[in-house]
Amino acid sequence: MATSQCLFIAVSFLLFVVSFSCPEDCECSLTRASCVMKSGKTDTKLLAALPANLSVLSVITLMTNIEANSFANLTLLRQLIFIGDHISSVSFGAFNHLDNLSALMLDKTLLEVLPAGVFDKLVHLRQLYFTNNKLRKIDKGLLDNLIELEELYLYGNMLQTLPVGVFDSLVNLKKLHLGRNLLSVLPATIFDKLANLQILRMYQNRLTGIPSGCFDQLTKLTELSLHVNYITHLPSDSFIQLQSLVMLMLSNNKLIALPPRIFHHLPNLSKLSLFENQLSLLPVSTFGKMDKLKELWLYDNHLTSLADDLFINVTHLTVLTLSYNKISSISRNAFRGLDKLHKLSLQQNHLSILSENLFSYLGQLRYLSLSFNQIQSLPRDIVKGLHNLTVLKLEMNLLQNVIHTQMEVVRANAFLNLSSLVTLIIHQTQISHIDLGAFNNLDHLTRLSLEGNRLERLPAGLFDGLHSLQILVLQSNRLTSVEPDLFNQLVSLKDLQLHHNRLTTIADGTFDHLTQLVKLNLGKNKITNLPLKVFDKLGQLQQLWLYENQLGAIAARSLANLNSLVELGLNSNSIQHLAANVFSALPHLKTLTLSGNLLSTLPQGLLLDLPKLSQLTLYENHLSRLMPGTFGAMPELRELWLYQNQLVILEDNVFSNLSSLRVLILSHNQISSIQKGAFSWDVFSNLGQLRNISLHNNRLQSLSPALFHLLPGLTEVSLHLNVWLCDCGILGLQDWLKNHPDKALAPNRVTCHNPPALQGRPILTLVDESLACDAQSAPPVNYTTGLIPLQLNTEGERRDHYILTAARSERTNAVNGEGTQNIAHQTLDPFNTGILIILLLLVCVIVIVTSRNWVKPHTERRDPIMLLRLSPINDAL
């Protein structure tokens, strides 16, 4: 008995293993498989080899045709995903035997037509995705047998028409997606049999109109998307039967006018989008009783006015966008009934005058934007009753007064009735003065922006009481000074923007009470010096910008307490000298910009204590030399910008500490020599992150390509506009340019400067016969590096060239008329040969031992296609 049981178990296990065999190009679990097929010719055989018990299969294939009975052994499949940009045909009977299939996807194929009857056996199919293909037409009977189908996705094809009756058999259909096709007309009865349809999407087609009664049978429809078409008119009864409709999208069409009462039979509508049309008028009768409407989007039309009681029937509206129109007048009672409105957007219109109490009906309003209009004054009671207003935007108007104040002045208590205001933005107006007390009663204000006005002075105490303020924007005004106690009560301030003013000095103690400050921008002013203790209390500061001022120096003491600083911008000043310890107290600094100054030297120790630095810009200075040790241990440095200086030579070990460098820009200098140790062999071999070296516009006459051979990650090198000497020593560089066209930037612009006969000629076009070398100056062999130092004397000038021995010696000797039979003996001595043999033997042993443990179970492989699942599939708009 025991033997029989064991035999039974063994046979069962064997059958399981056989049934669970998984082809090499697939990943399989118990009931799921995903395949990425590498050859279209063998894909059919591979499908036949899949386990028969699969319920879910996803395939990326190179096959051109899905043959009949391709899935004959997969009768238990319930979900099938087929993706293949080579598939151009499907044979009749391709989906035979898939009686249990409930979901089918054919995506990203070349299919233009489907044979009649191809889906006839899929009587239990509930989801059909035929998406992102080339389908041009659907035969009338193609879908007739899909009587259980609930979701049909046909988006992303090239359908131009729909035959009458094509959907008539789909009586259980709930979702139909026809977006992103080429449909220009709809048969009037196309949807008549779809009484259960809930979602209909036809966006991004070429529809110019909708037939009358087209949607009359869709009484359960909740979403209708018709946006991004060319619809110019709608019948007045278009939506009369859509009592269940919740979302109606009509934006991005060509609607000029709306019929009266078109929206009078949509009691459940919640969102209505009409933006980006050409509507010039909204009759008062446009909107019927819609108590559930929350959002109405009307921006970017041609509306010129808003009549009284226009929105009286949409009393539950919370969002109303009317921006980007041509509205020049709004009747006093236009917003009557909108007592639940939260957001009103009127920016970018032609408003110049606003009626008294215009917004008095909007007791729940929280956001009001009047920006980019032509408003010159605001009536006294314009914000009366707006106790919940938190954001008021007034930028880019012609405001000469605010809240019925005198010209160009903001008077005390100007916002007294807006105690809930959180954000106040007044940009680009004519305001030149703000009275003390103007911001009284704004206890909840967190952001105040006064950018781009004409303010020259701010009185001390102006911001007193704004204890919640976190962002203060004063940029782009005409401020010449800041009162020392102006910011004393801004204890919560985190971001202070003072750039683009006319400040010449900053008094000691100005920022002493801003202990929470994280960002401070003082750029684009005229500051000539900084008090030693001006930043002493800013221990939380992370960003300090002082660019485009007139600073001649930075004292080390002024930065001593900024130990949280991450970004420091000192570019575009007049700094001639920096103390060696000026940055020594900035251990967290990541970005340092010193470009556009007058620096001629960098003192030893200047860049030694910046372990977190990742970007350093020193371009557009007067640097003539970089001493070894200039750059300390900066393991995080990714970018070093040194272009447009006066560098002549790159000395030994100058970059030896920059092991993580990715970008090195040295162009537009006077570099004529790169010493062999500028990138030391040890460090250079560790610069696997280096991607970009820019050396163009220098004085280089020669360069060893060996510098590049040790950079496996190199993607771009620029060498053009140098003074290359085209003799036999240029051959190594020529070969490198030829062999790395993807790495050399503008290789055809790397041209000869000397001798005169070759001037202007691209190095890539040179032939050996045109290059000269003095045979007596043939280089000795350097056994240590495998490089040949070529010492060529021209007019007393010594130039050191380094080219790879094995590759270049033979060509050099050939040009000089010498033999090459001793090359091997020159490049390797017996000692080095022995070491090489031992290393090769050691590698072989490691490979053999490792290979025995290399094989992993087949089921351990992972492929991204396993992440692809059919349900749910995202078909977002």
The full set of domain ranges for the chain reads: 589-699, 707-820
Q: Residue 62: is its pLDDT beyond 90?
A: no
Helix (H, G, I), strand (E, B) or coil at 331: coil
Confidence of residue 386 (pLDDT cuts 50, 70, 90): confident
Nearest to 183 by CA among 153, 163, 213: 163
Higher pLDDT pick, 299 / 782? 299
Confidence of residue 371 (pLDDT cuts 50, 70, 90): confident
> Distance (Å, rounded) from C-alpha 691 to C-alpha 687?
9
- CB 96 within 8 Å of CB 122: no
Q: What confidence score (pLDDT) does residue 404 get? A: 36
Summarised one tens digit per residue, pLDDT across range 445-483 is: 999 999 989 999 999 999 999 999 999 999 999 999 999
Averaged over 474-496, what is the pLDDT?
96
Q: Name the pairing type of β-strands 32-36 and 26-28.
A: antiparallel
Summarised one tens digit per residue, pLDDT across range 575-632 is: 999 999 999 999 999 999 999 999 999 998 899 889 999 999 999 999 999 988 888 8
- CB 396 within 8 Å of CB 361: no
Helix (H, G, I), strand (E, B) or coil at 7: helix
Region label for 389, one of left (φ > 0), alpha (ψ between -120 and 50) or beta (otherwise):
beta
Distances (CA, A) of 501 to 114, 282, 410, 737: 68, 45, 20, 50
Averaged over 668-675, what is the pLDDT?
88
Fold held by 589-699: 3.80.10
80-94, 382-396, 627-641 — which is least confidently predicted? 382-396
Distances (CA, A) of 55 to 30, 74, 607: 9, 8, 63
Task: Report CA dihedral (724, 726, 727, 733) to the nearest 10 degrees.
Answer: 70
CB count, 10 Å around CB of 707?
19
Higher pLDDT pick, 780 / 843? 843
Mean pLDDT of the residues in the chain: 83
Q: Which amino acid is at 66?
A: I
Averaged over 10-28, what is the pLDDT?
60
Q: What confidence score (pLDDT) does residue 396 get? A: 64
Q: Taken in order 47, 49, 52, 54, is the CA torsion positive or negative?
A: negative
Q: 502-532: buried (b, 16+ CB within 10 Å) or exposed (e) per residue?
A: ebebbeeebbbbbeebbbbbbbbbebebbbe
The residue whose two tokens read 């389908």 is 135
DSSP letters of 666-728?
Answer: --SS---EE-TTTT-HHHHTT-TT--EEE--SS--S---THHHHT-TT--EEE--SS-EE-SG
CB count, 10 Å around CB of 846?
10
Confidence of residue 843 (pLDDT cuts 50, 70, 90): low
The residue whose two tokens read 């970089």 is 626
> Interhelix angle for 805-815 vs 731-739, to 10°?
130
DSSP letters of 459-514?
Answer: -TTTTTT-TT--EEE--SS------TTTTTT-TT--EEE--SS------TTTTTT-
Nearest to 729 by CA among 620, 787, 632, 808: 808
Residues 6+ apart with CB under 8 A from 848: none
Q: Residue 68: is its pLDDT beyond 50?
A: yes
Q: Residue 230: is its pLDDT beyond 90?
A: yes
284-288, 331-335, 808-812 — which is least confidently predicted? 808-812
707-820 shares the fold of 589-699: yes
For the entire predicted model, the pTM comes to 0.63
Q: Residue 811: is its pLDDT beyond 70?
A: no
Residues 6+ apart with CB under 8 A from 306: 282, 322, 327, 329, 330, 331, 334
Nearest to 151 by CA among 206, 199, 118, 111: 199
Please state which CATH class domain 707-820 belongs to. Answer: alpha beta
- CB 623 within 8 Å of CB 648: no
Q: Taken in order 382, 343, 390, 309, is the CA torsion positive or negative?
A: positive
> Distance (Å, rounded) from C-alpha 120 to C-alpha 144?
8
Summarised one tens digit per residue, pLDDT across range 85-134 is: 889 999 999 999 999 999 999 999 999 999 989 999 999 999 999 999 99
Confidence of residue 17 (pLDDT cuts 50, 70, 90): very low
Nearest to 130 by CA among 148, 144, 145, 142: 142
> Distance (Å, rounded) from C-alpha 216 to C-alpha 239?
7
